[in-house]
Structure 1
Amino acid sequence: MTESSRDILVRTLPMARRYARALTGSQEAGDGLVAEALRGDLPPLEPRLALYAAITERAPERPDAQGLSARQRQLLLLTALEDLTIDEAGQVVGLSGEEAGRELEEARAALRATAATDVLVIEDEPIIAMDVRRLVEACGHRVVGVAASEAEAVRLATEKKPGLILADINLGRGGDGSAAVARIQKSMRVPVIFVTAYPERLLTARGAEPTFIISKPFEPRALAIATYQATTTSSVPIV
């Protein structure tokens, strides 16, 4: 492997870890998948795509109540969460761009039929909170509360018992979104998606990290897919 290829892999690693944990539903399983991929031979693709492909190849099959295939889940995450083009995502999963496009259309149709859940939004910026609420509701979910501070988030979670939490990290004077989530998860098991402009800061491989992370600014489709993965794959607290 050339030094240039190695540098690309190092830069790709945090996002590849995000992809792997979104596939598996936990930090431990996702990081184990990445480690396994790096120990083996990478496929003959450009380094960034090769790492995604090696992870995809080793990803476990998961039952899906909504009828999505493993390949469709992978394509959705690669294009919406990781910002790969349809052609690039096709290379990762071993399909032509045309085949990948057809699979994605079927997967998106299935997503639109997904059952809704109650969502608590933790966001201190009023305009951003309004935009997030609009996007969440456009995905078919119900926003049961918007918290601008750590204390308010804990109170609303206790009262509303949400099925999903969408949390910003930095709440300004209102505290820390991750601290609010940690307090909430002491009393209830609920999947969480963290929204941040700097996802790499949460993917340092030091200690516990969020399982589901989307980058600001985000597209509605990325939010739809992240909420779907969080509510259908997560089985343990995400701190």
Structure 2
Amino acid sequence: MSETQTTMDLSDQIAAELPYLRRYARALTGSQSSGDQYAVATLETILQDRSIFSDPEMTIKVALFKCFHAIWASSGAPVPAEGESTLARAQQHLASLETNTREALLLATIEEFTIADIARIMDVTRDEVRHLINVARNDMQSAISGRILVIEDEPVIAADISSIVTELGHQVTGVGRTRASAVELGRETRPDLILADIQLADNSSGIDAVNDLLKEFGEVPVIFITAFPERLLTGERPEPAFLISKPYKEEQVKSAVSQAMFFASTETLKS
């Protein structure tokens, strides 16, 4: 196989993992644009040096995330100032957290890396990874509670999500099964967080429902749930900073809610 063909194969493999790197980066920074800036910086670094992908002990995805983490850690894991009021508060909160706790939790829950893989990504021991995840979970339990609007048309899923967030100490203000009902519930009680499915009962859009509410409320963190996260992570339009995949796990919902509540801004989507 020629060197050119090998390079093309590697590029294709990296491209296949990019949607998940974007998701992780956005969850760390709290916004699409900030997260994507770090993803772009990662790709630029890889163009200069691809040697990390020659390590036989790491998959392409682990090597990609390891490269990202090196850039993130070297920059002091900052939150770029977009919307000074909310992200400034997040910056203050970040300063009080133990280094790498949020990163370890997201890698384990949202991205579903193994402890061994996270240790490779962060260049720490497996015991250190377990410690970081435990600290992050304890931080979540002490987080400030808030009001959460659930937009989900499947009753069983809606009940499960409501139970999970209630156990975290949050109040569910209502469950909207359609765009119209979700907007009505949101207007009745302004939520601190919206947790929304994409496809709703009457074939209306959860994205449209969220956009309707954001036009009225302005800054409200949003988590989207979808069976096809890569469709919302193309980079071709405004996309969610926070999203989890179906079928989800309880720890994924808890982690996503914790990260979303950490910030207080989200960008409007266009359906």
Correspondence for 1:166 among 192, 195, 200:
195
- Given the alignment of the two structures, is residue 209 of structure 1 paired with residue 242 of structure 2, yes or no? no
Residues matched between the structures, number: 239
Whole-Å separation in 2 of the counterparts to 1:135 and 1:43: 42
Matched-pair identity in %: 37
The higher radius of gyration belongs to 2
Residue 166 of structure 1 aligns to a residue in which SS? strand
Q: Is the 8 A contact 1:20 1:30 kept in 2?
A: yes
Aligned to 1:233: 263
Whole-Å separation in 2 of the counterparts to 1:49 and 1:64: 30
Which is further off, 143-152 or 218-227?
218-227
Q: Is the 8 A contact 2:26 2:36 kept in 1?
A: yes
**1:148-207 deviation per Cα after TM superposition (whole angstroms, max 9, x unaligned):** 110111111111110000000000315100010011100112110001111111111111
Aligned counterparts, 1:145-164, within 5 A:
145-164=174-193
Structure 1: 5+ residue stretches without partners: none
Whole-Å separation in 1 of the counterparts to 2:191 and 2:112: 29
- Given the alignment of the two structures, is residue 15 of structure 1 paired with residue 20 of structure 2, yes or no? yes
What is the TM-score when the length of structure 2 is the normalising length?
A: 0.83
Aligned to 1:124: 153
Give the deviation of 1:71 after TM superposition: 0.7
Whole-Å separation in 2 of the counterparts to 1:64 and 1:101: 25
Aligned to 1:24: 29
Q: Is the 8 A contact 2:221 2:263 kept in 1?
A: no
Correspondence for 1:65 among 82, 93, 97:
93
Residue 33 of structure 1 aligns to a residue in which SS? helix
Q: Give, as a single letter, the amino acid of the residue that structure 1 aligns with 2:17.
A: T
**1:96-128 deviation per Cα after TM superposition (whole angstroms, max 9, x unaligned):** 112111111122122111111110000111121
Q: Is the 8 A contact 1:124 1:174 kept in 2?
A: no
Which is further off, 161-170 or 121-130?
121-130
Whole-Å separation in 2 of the counterparts to 1:48 and 1:150: 36
Give the deviation of 1:2 after TM superposition: 4.2
Distance 1:43 1:131, change over 3 A: farther
Whole-Å separation in 2 of the counterparts to 1:135 and 1:222: 10
Q: Is the 8 A contact 2:105 2:132 kept in 1?
A: no
Aligned to 2:224: 194
Whole-Å separation in 1 of the counterparts to 2:266 and 2:7: 39
Whole-Å separation in 2 of the counterparts to 1:214 and 1:174: 21
Correspondence for 2:39 among 34, 41, 51:
34
